[in-house]
Amino acid sequence: MFNRQDYVSDVDWQRFLQFSEKLETPNIVINLNKVRTNFIKLKDSFPYARIFYAIKANPGEPILKMLSEQGSCFDLASRYELDLIQKFNVEPERLSFGNTIKKAKDIKYFYDKGIRMFATDSKDDLKNIAEFAPGSKIYVRILVENSVTADWPLSRKFGCHPDMAYDLLVMARDLGLTPFGISFHVGSQQRDIGQWNDAIAKTKYLFNSLEEEEGIRLSMIDMGGGFPASYVDPTNDLSEYASEITRYLHDDFGDEIPEIILEPGRSLVGDSGILTSEIILTSRKNNTALARWVYVDAGKFNGLIETLDESIKYPVITNKDSPTEKEGEVIIAGPTCDSMDIMYEDSKYKLPVSLKSGDKLYWLSTGAYTSTYASIAFNGFPPIKTYFM
Protein backbone atom coordinates (compact mmCIF):
# COMPACT_ATOMS: atom_id res chain seq x y z
CA MET A 1 0.00 0.00 0.00
CA PHE A 2 2.88 2.34 0.78
CA ASN A 3 6.12 2.78 -1.02
CA ARG A 4 8.89 2.67 1.58
CA GLN A 5 11.17 4.77 -0.63
CA ASP A 6 8.76 7.69 -0.38
CA TYR A 7 9.62 7.86 3.33
CA VAL A 8 13.00 6.23 3.99
CA SER A 9 15.98 6.12 1.64
CA ASP A 10 17.55 2.78 0.66
CA VAL A 11 20.69 3.55 2.64
CA ASP A 12 18.78 4.48 5.80
CA TRP A 13 16.56 1.43 5.43
CA GLN A 14 19.49 -0.99 5.17
CA ARG A 15 21.12 0.63 8.21
CA PHE A 16 17.86 0.34 10.10
CA LEU A 17 17.37 -3.34 9.23
CA GLN A 18 20.87 -4.18 10.41
CA PHE A 19 20.57 -2.12 13.55
CA SER A 20 17.17 -3.48 14.57
CA GLU A 21 17.54 -7.12 13.52
CA LYS A 22 18.10 -8.49 17.03
CA LEU A 23 15.92 -6.05 18.99
CA GLU A 24 12.87 -7.28 20.89
CA THR A 25 9.60 -5.85 19.60
CA PRO A 26 7.88 -3.53 19.99
CA ASN A 27 10.56 -0.86 19.69
CA ILE A 28 11.26 2.52 18.17
CA VAL A 29 14.51 3.25 16.38
CA ILE A 30 15.46 6.89 15.95
CA ASN A 31 17.81 7.93 13.17
CA LEU A 32 19.73 10.81 14.75
CA ASN A 33 21.16 11.88 11.40
CA LYS A 34 17.66 12.55 10.20
CA VAL A 35 16.90 14.78 13.20
CA ARG A 36 20.11 16.70 12.57
CA THR A 37 19.27 17.12 8.89
CA ASN A 38 15.76 18.30 9.73
CA PHE A 39 17.14 20.82 12.21
CA ILE A 40 19.60 22.21 9.69
CA LYS A 41 16.95 22.34 6.99
CA LEU A 42 14.59 24.28 9.26
CA LYS A 43 17.36 26.66 10.27
CA ASP A 44 18.29 27.26 6.63
CA SER A 45 14.64 27.77 5.68
CA PHE A 46 14.14 30.38 8.40
CA PRO A 47 17.61 31.95 8.71
CA TYR A 48 16.23 34.86 10.75
CA ALA A 49 14.56 32.68 13.41
CA ARG A 50 15.70 31.12 16.67
CA ILE A 51 14.61 27.51 17.07
CA PHE A 52 13.23 26.31 20.40
CA TYR A 53 12.75 22.55 20.15
CA ALA A 54 9.51 21.47 21.87
CA ILE A 55 10.98 18.70 24.00
CA LYS A 56 7.71 16.88 24.49
CA ALA A 57 7.75 15.63 20.90
CA ASN A 58 10.63 13.33 21.77
CA PRO A 59 12.69 13.84 24.94
CA GLY A 60 15.25 11.18 24.06
CA GLU A 61 18.58 12.23 25.58
CA PRO A 62 20.70 11.62 22.46
CA ILE A 63 18.32 13.95 20.59
CA LEU A 64 18.61 16.65 23.26
CA LYS A 65 22.38 16.30 23.35
CA MET A 66 22.73 16.54 19.59
CA LEU A 67 20.36 19.51 19.29
CA SER A 68 22.04 21.34 22.14
CA GLU A 69 25.37 20.90 20.37
CA GLN A 70 23.79 22.24 17.18
CA GLY A 71 22.92 25.41 19.09
CA SER A 72 19.20 24.79 19.41
CA CYS A 73 17.15 26.45 22.13
CA PHE A 74 14.44 24.52 23.97
CA ASP A 75 10.82 25.09 24.90
CA LEU A 76 9.96 23.48 28.21
CA ALA A 77 6.60 22.46 29.59
CA SER A 78 7.52 21.23 33.08
CA ARG A 79 10.24 21.27 35.73
CA TYR A 80 11.05 17.70 34.76
CA GLU A 81 11.90 18.77 31.23
CA LEU A 82 14.07 21.49 32.74
CA ASP A 83 15.95 18.93 34.86
CA LEU A 84 16.42 16.81 31.76
CA ILE A 85 17.82 19.56 29.54
CA GLN A 86 20.16 20.80 32.23
CA LYS A 87 22.17 17.61 31.84
CA PHE A 88 23.47 19.10 28.61
CA ASN A 89 24.70 22.42 29.98
CA VAL A 90 22.31 24.53 27.97
CA GLU A 91 22.50 28.15 29.15
CA PRO A 92 19.26 29.51 30.65
CA GLU A 93 19.10 32.13 27.87
CA ARG A 94 18.33 29.24 25.50
CA LEU A 95 15.34 28.04 27.52
CA SER A 96 11.73 29.16 27.81
CA PHE A 97 8.87 28.04 30.01
CA GLY A 98 6.23 27.72 27.29
CA ASN A 99 3.45 26.02 29.19
CA THR A 100 0.74 28.49 30.15
CA ILE A 101 -0.57 26.08 32.79
CA LYS A 102 1.93 25.94 35.62
CA LYS A 103 2.22 25.92 39.37
CA ALA A 104 3.57 28.96 41.22
CA LYS A 105 6.32 26.84 42.78
CA ASP A 106 7.41 25.65 39.36
CA ILE A 107 7.71 29.24 38.16
CA LYS A 108 10.04 29.83 41.09
CA TYR A 109 11.98 26.66 40.23
CA PHE A 110 12.57 27.96 36.70
CA TYR A 111 13.48 31.44 37.93
CA ASP A 112 16.00 30.03 40.41
CA LYS A 113 17.67 28.16 37.53
CA GLY A 114 18.02 31.39 35.56
CA ILE A 115 15.12 31.16 33.09
CA ARG A 116 13.69 34.58 32.29
CA MET A 117 11.24 33.89 29.47
CA PHE A 118 7.69 32.85 30.29
CA ALA A 119 4.53 32.26 28.25
CA THR A 120 1.16 33.09 29.72
CA ASP A 121 -2.49 33.40 28.75
CA SER A 122 -4.25 34.27 32.01
CA LYS A 123 -4.22 36.86 34.78
CA ASP A 124 -3.65 34.44 37.64
CA ASP A 125 -0.64 32.89 35.93
CA LEU A 126 0.74 36.34 35.15
CA LYS A 127 0.42 37.37 38.80
CA ASN A 128 2.34 34.27 39.81
CA ILE A 129 5.07 35.07 37.29
CA ALA A 130 5.31 38.64 38.62
CA GLU A 131 5.72 37.31 42.15
CA PHE A 132 8.07 34.40 41.54
CA ALA A 133 9.94 35.49 38.41
CA PRO A 134 10.17 39.27 38.78
CA GLY A 135 11.25 41.29 35.78
CA SER A 136 11.04 38.34 33.38
CA LYS A 137 10.14 38.58 29.70
CA ILE A 138 6.50 37.80 29.04
CA TYR A 139 4.95 36.55 25.85
CA VAL A 140 1.24 35.97 25.59
CA ARG A 141 -0.25 33.11 23.68
CA ILE A 142 -3.24 34.02 21.56
CA LEU A 143 -6.05 31.75 20.43
CA VAL A 144 -6.10 30.79 16.79
CA GLU A 145 -8.80 28.71 15.14
CA ASN A 146 -7.18 25.74 13.53
CA SER A 147 -9.17 22.65 14.18
CA VAL A 148 -10.12 21.75 10.62
CA THR A 149 -6.84 21.70 8.75
CA ALA A 150 -4.48 20.56 11.51
CA ASP A 151 -4.30 16.79 11.95
CA TRP A 152 -3.65 17.23 15.67
CA PRO A 153 -5.24 20.55 16.74
CA LEU A 154 -4.06 22.40 19.84
CA SER A 155 -6.79 25.01 20.07
CA ARG A 156 -9.20 25.93 22.88
CA LYS A 157 -7.17 24.75 25.83
CA PHE A 158 -4.30 27.20 25.22
CA GLY A 159 -4.26 30.86 24.33
CA CYS A 160 -6.56 33.78 24.95
CA HIS A 161 -8.48 36.22 22.81
CA PRO A 162 -6.32 39.08 21.46
CA ASP A 163 -8.24 41.57 23.66
CA MET A 164 -7.21 39.59 26.72
CA ALA A 165 -3.64 39.37 25.40
CA TYR A 166 -3.63 43.15 25.18
CA ASP A 167 -4.78 43.48 28.80
CA LEU A 168 -2.22 40.92 29.97
CA LEU A 169 0.68 42.74 28.36
CA VAL A 170 -0.39 46.04 29.91
CA MET A 171 -0.73 44.27 33.23
CA ALA A 172 2.71 42.68 32.76
CA ARG A 173 4.27 46.11 32.42
CA ASP A 174 2.37 47.41 35.44
CA LEU A 175 3.60 44.45 37.48
CA GLY A 176 7.21 45.23 36.64
CA LEU A 177 7.60 42.47 34.06
CA THR A 178 8.94 42.96 30.53
CA PRO A 179 6.29 42.75 27.80
CA PHE A 180 8.17 40.77 25.18
CA GLY A 181 5.90 39.35 22.49
CA ILE A 182 3.07 37.23 21.18
CA SER A 183 2.96 33.50 20.58
CA PHE A 184 0.55 31.20 18.84
CA HIS A 185 0.38 27.60 17.68
CA VAL A 186 -1.61 27.00 14.51
CA GLY A 187 -2.14 23.31 15.32
CA SER A 188 0.20 20.38 14.96
CA GLN A 189 0.70 18.89 11.48
CA GLN A 190 -0.93 21.99 10.05
CA ARG A 191 -1.58 21.40 6.36
CA ASP A 192 -2.97 24.86 5.58
CA ILE A 193 -0.09 27.35 5.45
CA GLY A 194 -2.62 30.22 5.33
CA GLN A 195 -3.27 29.67 9.05
CA TRP A 196 0.01 31.47 9.80
CA ASN A 197 -1.23 34.45 7.80
CA ASP A 198 -4.27 34.94 10.03
CA ALA A 199 -2.22 34.51 13.19
CA ILE A 200 0.48 36.95 12.06
CA ALA A 201 -2.21 39.51 11.17
CA LYS A 202 -3.66 39.26 14.69
CA THR A 203 -0.16 39.66 16.09
CA LYS A 204 0.48 42.75 14.00
CA TYR A 205 -2.73 44.30 15.27
CA LEU A 206 -1.58 43.75 18.86
CA PHE A 207 1.90 45.15 18.18
CA ASN A 208 0.32 48.30 16.74
CA SER A 209 -2.38 48.91 19.29
CA LEU A 210 -0.11 48.32 22.28
CA GLU A 211 2.45 50.75 20.92
CA GLU A 212 -0.05 53.44 19.94
CA GLU A 213 -2.25 53.29 23.01
CA GLU A 214 0.14 52.22 25.75
CA GLY A 215 3.61 52.94 24.43
CA ILE A 216 4.47 49.27 24.83
CA ARG A 217 6.89 48.08 22.17
CA LEU A 218 6.82 44.32 21.69
CA SER A 219 9.81 42.75 20.02
CA MET A 220 9.15 39.05 19.49
CA ILE A 221 6.77 36.69 17.68
CA ASP A 222 6.79 33.03 18.62
CA MET A 223 5.21 31.24 15.65
CA GLY A 224 4.93 27.91 17.44
CA GLY A 225 5.17 24.50 15.80
CA GLY A 226 2.81 22.97 13.28
CA PHE A 227 5.38 22.22 10.58
CA PRO A 228 4.79 18.83 9.00
CA ALA A 229 6.23 15.36 9.23
CA SER A 230 5.66 12.88 6.38
CA TYR A 231 2.54 10.85 6.99
CA VAL A 232 -0.04 9.37 4.62
CA ASP A 233 -1.86 12.64 3.86
CA PRO A 234 0.46 14.81 1.79
CA THR A 235 1.63 18.28 2.82
CA ASN A 236 3.58 21.03 1.17
CA ASP A 237 7.34 20.91 1.42
CA LEU A 238 8.96 22.84 4.27
CA SER A 239 10.44 25.30 1.77
CA GLU A 240 6.90 26.20 0.75
CA TYR A 241 6.00 26.89 4.38
CA ALA A 242 9.09 29.02 4.79
CA SER A 243 8.61 31.18 1.71
CA GLU A 244 4.91 31.76 2.38
CA ILE A 245 5.32 32.52 6.08
CA THR A 246 8.26 34.84 5.39
CA ARG A 247 6.09 36.68 2.88
CA TYR A 248 3.27 37.05 5.44
CA LEU A 249 5.75 38.53 7.91
CA HIS A 250 7.01 41.09 5.41
CA ASP A 251 3.46 41.91 4.26
CA ASP A 252 2.53 42.86 7.83
CA PHE A 253 5.80 44.15 9.25
CA GLY A 254 7.61 45.51 6.20
CA ASP A 255 11.40 45.32 6.34
CA GLU A 256 11.61 45.40 10.11
CA ILE A 257 10.32 42.07 11.22
CA PRO A 258 10.52 41.41 14.97
CA GLU A 259 12.66 38.71 16.55
CA ILE A 260 11.16 35.40 15.42
CA ILE A 261 11.04 32.18 17.38
CA LEU A 262 9.91 28.78 16.13
CA GLU A 263 8.98 25.90 18.40
CA PRO A 264 9.09 22.81 16.20
CA GLY A 265 8.48 19.37 17.62
CA ARG A 266 6.96 17.04 15.09
CA SER A 267 8.79 18.37 12.05
CA LEU A 268 12.22 17.80 13.62
CA VAL A 269 11.77 14.29 14.94
CA GLY A 270 8.71 12.74 13.25
CA ASP A 271 10.43 11.35 10.17
CA SER A 272 13.38 10.05 12.17
CA GLY A 273 11.53 7.16 13.82
CA ILE A 274 10.52 3.66 12.80
CA LEU A 275 8.35 1.69 15.19
CA THR A 276 8.61 -2.07 14.73
CA SER A 277 5.75 -4.26 15.89
CA GLU A 278 5.24 -7.98 15.56
CA ILE A 279 1.98 -9.59 14.54
CA ILE A 280 0.53 -11.55 17.45
CA LEU A 281 -2.45 -12.87 15.57
CA THR A 282 -4.55 -12.36 12.47
CA SER A 283 -8.21 -13.35 12.36
CA ARG A 284 -11.55 -12.94 10.67
CA LYS A 285 -14.68 -12.40 12.73
CA ASN A 286 -16.73 -14.62 10.44
CA ASN A 287 -15.97 -16.86 7.51
CA THR A 288 -17.05 -14.36 4.87
CA ALA A 289 -15.69 -11.18 6.49
CA LEU A 290 -13.84 -9.06 3.96
CA ALA A 291 -11.47 -7.39 6.40
CA ARG A 292 -8.95 -9.27 8.53
CA TRP A 293 -8.02 -8.17 11.99
CA VAL A 294 -4.29 -7.83 12.49
CA TYR A 295 -3.28 -7.68 16.16
CA VAL A 296 0.20 -6.39 16.87
CA ASP A 297 2.32 -5.92 19.99
CA ALA A 298 2.25 -2.10 19.86
CA GLY A 299 -0.87 -0.02 20.22
CA LYS A 300 -2.58 3.08 21.53
CA PHE A 301 -1.08 2.55 24.99
CA ASN A 302 2.53 2.02 23.95
CA GLY A 303 3.46 4.47 21.27
CA LEU A 304 0.55 4.96 18.92
CA ILE A 305 -1.77 7.26 20.89
CA GLU A 306 -1.91 9.73 18.00
CA THR A 307 -3.96 7.20 16.04
CA LEU A 308 -6.81 8.38 18.31
CA ASP A 309 -9.75 9.07 15.97
CA GLU A 310 -7.31 7.91 13.26
CA SER A 311 -5.94 11.47 13.31
CA ILE A 312 -2.34 10.73 12.42
CA LYS A 313 -2.06 8.17 9.65
CA TYR A 314 1.36 6.56 9.71
CA PRO A 315 2.60 4.77 6.61
CA VAL A 316 2.75 1.07 7.56
CA ILE A 317 4.89 -1.40 5.66
CA THR A 318 5.62 -5.08 6.31
CA ASN A 319 8.30 -7.70 5.78
CA LYS A 320 6.00 -9.30 3.18
CA ASP A 321 5.65 -6.22 0.98
CA SER A 322 6.47 -6.82 -2.67
CA PRO A 323 4.92 -5.78 -5.97
CA THR A 324 3.60 -9.31 -6.53
CA GLU A 325 1.95 -9.72 -3.12
CA LYS A 326 -1.83 -9.67 -3.04
CA GLU A 327 -3.15 -7.13 -0.54
CA GLY A 328 -6.40 -7.06 1.40
CA GLU A 329 -8.20 -4.73 3.73
CA VAL A 330 -7.24 -4.93 7.42
CA ILE A 331 -8.22 -3.56 10.79
CA ILE A 332 -5.05 -2.99 12.81
CA ALA A 333 -5.29 -3.28 16.60
CA GLY A 334 -3.03 -3.36 19.63
CA PRO A 335 -2.43 -6.04 22.27
CA THR A 336 -4.31 -4.69 25.31
CA CYS A 337 -7.75 -5.58 26.65
CA ASP A 338 -9.22 -2.15 25.97
CA SER A 339 -11.42 -2.05 22.87
CA MET A 340 -10.24 1.48 22.09
CA ASP A 341 -6.86 -0.10 21.36
CA ILE A 342 -7.61 -0.15 17.64
CA MET A 343 -5.40 1.97 15.44
CA TYR A 344 -7.00 1.88 12.01
CA GLU A 345 -10.39 0.67 10.91
CA ASP A 346 -12.09 3.47 8.93
CA SER A 347 -8.88 4.38 7.13
CA LYS A 348 -9.01 1.08 5.20
CA TYR A 349 -5.36 0.11 5.29
CA LYS A 350 -4.44 -2.70 2.94
CA LEU A 351 -1.71 -5.21 3.80
CA PRO A 352 -0.43 -8.45 2.20
CA VAL A 353 -2.89 -11.33 2.66
CA SER A 354 -0.03 -13.70 3.44
CA LEU A 355 0.78 -11.95 6.75
CA LYS A 356 0.74 -14.21 9.79
CA SER A 357 1.90 -14.39 13.42
CA GLY A 358 5.53 -13.37 13.80
CA ASP A 359 5.58 -11.11 10.74
CA LYS A 360 6.50 -7.48 11.23
CA LEU A 361 4.69 -4.22 10.74
CA TYR A 362 6.96 -1.20 10.42
CA TRP A 363 5.33 2.10 11.31
CA LEU A 364 7.21 4.85 9.49
CA SER A 365 7.56 8.47 10.64
CA THR A 366 6.97 7.53 14.28
CA GLY A 367 9.67 9.70 15.86
CA ALA A 368 7.26 12.28 17.33
CA TYR A 369 4.74 11.87 20.14
CA THR A 370 5.31 8.14 20.51
CA SER A 371 8.11 7.13 22.89
CA THR A 372 6.87 8.88 26.05
CA TYR A 373 3.28 9.52 25.06
CA ALA A 374 2.30 6.11 26.42
CA SER A 375 1.15 4.21 29.49
CA ILE A 376 3.70 2.65 31.81
CA ALA A 377 2.14 -0.74 32.49
CA PHE A 378 -1.42 -1.05 31.26
CA ASN A 379 -2.25 -4.76 31.19
CA GLY A 380 1.29 -5.30 32.37
CA PHE A 381 2.82 -4.30 29.06
CA PRO A 382 6.02 -2.34 29.68
CA PRO A 383 6.70 1.01 28.01
CA ILE A 384 7.98 0.76 24.46
CA LYS A 385 11.78 0.96 24.23
CA THR A 386 13.55 3.55 22.10
CA TYR A 387 16.96 3.02 20.48
CA PHE A 388 19.11 5.65 18.81
CA MET A 389 21.04 4.91 15.67
Ligand X SMILES: *Cc1c(COP(=O)(O)O)cnc(C)c1O
Site of interaction with ligand X (CB under 6 A): 54, 56-57, 75, 98, 185, 188, 224-227, 263-267
DSSP state of 228: P
CB 58 to ligand X: min, Å: 10
| Among 27, 58, 20, CA closest to 271 | 58
Torsion of CA 155, 30, 51, 115, to 10 degrees: 80
Q: Maximum Cα–Cα distance for the chain, whole Å?
A: 74
Q: Give dist(CA 386, CA 370) in Å, integer.
A: 10
Closest residue to ligand X, Cβ-based? 225
CB 268 to ligand X: min, Å: 8
Q: Give dist(CA 319, CA 382) in Å, integer.
A: 25
Measured from the CB atom, the residue of 180 and 227 that comes closer to ligand X is: 227
Measured from the CB atom, the residue of 77 and 104 that comes closer to ligand X is: 77
CB 270 to ligand X: min, Å: 8
| Run of H or E including 259 | strand 259-262
Q: By CB neighbour count within 10 A (0-12 exposed, 13-18 middle, 19+ buried), where does 384 fall?
A: buried
CB 185 to ligand X: min, Å: 5
Classified as helix, coil or strand, 319 is coil
CB 224 to ligand X: min, Å: 5
Classified as helix, coil or strand, 75 is strand
Measured from the CB atom, the residue of 46 and 227 that comes closer to ligand X is: 227
CB 5 to ligand X: min, Å: 25
Sign for the pseudo-dihedral over CA of 155, 161, 164, 170: positive
Measured from the CB atom, the residue of 225 and 273 that comes closer to ligand X is: 225
Measured from the CB atom, the residue of 23 and 101 that comes closer to ligand X is: 101
Measured from the CB atom, the residue of 183 and 277 that comes closer to ligand X is: 183
